[in-house]
Structures are given as C-alpha cells and as structure tokens.
Amino acid sequence: MKILTIHGPNLNLTGQREPEVYGSKSLEMINLDIARKGETLGLTTVCRQSNHEGEIIDWLQNAEKETFSGIILNPAAFTHTSIAIRDAIAAIELPVIEVHLSNISAREEFRQRSLTAAVCRGSISGFGTASYLVALETFKMLLS
C-alpha cells in the first residue's frame, strides 16, 4: 500500500515559522518521521509540498494513476479558502484524511472553518507532527 502525503502552502517553513503554533521540526524531519512510521506499518510513503493550489489539485487528481491507496492532506491555508481543492477531493475515489499540526478549532475564527473536511474520510488536528502518524495508522487499519 502506498500513501501520498501532501503538505500545503508555507509548510516548507515548518520549524522556523511560528514554532509555538506549528512546532520546531522542519518539514524534512516531519517527512522522515512519516517515512519511518510508514515503514514500521508496511506502508510505502511519498511526501510532497507545494505553495501552489493547482499543483496540489493535479497531485490529488493523479494519485490513483500513480497507484496510491490513500492521501494524507494538510491543505494549510487552503483549508479555509479553496473550493477548487475541495472539489478535487470530492471528485476522486481515493480516501483522503485531512491533517493539521495545530488545532484549527482553537485558532482564529477565520481558521476554524474547513472547506475540505466534509469531503475527506476524516480529520486529525492539534497533535503536531503526530497528526500525520495517526493518519498513517488509520490508513493501515482502513486499508487492511
């Protein structure tokens, strides 16, 4: 089983940008944690990051052709603004788990509404980088 993780805009700055909110681990370290956890679960993991909405949409739409079994998506700021990403998730057959490092329900009012969550299989937020690892464990259970 192969799981695609998509990190949205500004997550390339994780570890330096607002570490009190997003943690001190770099995106490279997060990706390494995802790869290690995937390996222990018998999952192949691929991680990608983009600051561009269209690129994220392309990855979502092409994931099945690339033989992925599921997608972990941290849409970051697009969570609250992107109807296009929402529509792309709704249009594909693969299960998508939305992930956030911070608890978006406890953030500023404009960050509390997710446009994408309703078309995802589920959401995990507020556990820092462990949110990604919980999503991997969930996929292992769902896809086994």
Task: Write out the two tokens for 84.
Answer: 């296009």
Question: Could you give the 3-state DSSP secondary structure of residue 28?
Answer: helix
- Do the beta carbons of residue 114 and residue 80 sit within 8 Å? yes
| From 7, 52, 80, 100, active-site residue | 100
Does the annotation count 22 as an active-site position? Answer: yes
- Among 7, 22, 52, 132, the active-site one is 22
Contacts of 106 (CB under 8 A, 6+ apart): 126
- Closest of 29, 119, 38, 107 to residue 73, by C-alpha: 119
The tokens of 5 are what?
Answer: 């993780």
Say which residues have a Cβ less than 8 Å from residue 48's Cβ, sequence separation at least 6. Answer: 4, 5, 6, 7, 59
Residue 15 Ramachandran class (φ > 0 left, ψ -120 to 50 alpha, else beta):
left
- The residues annotated as belonging to the active site are 22, 100
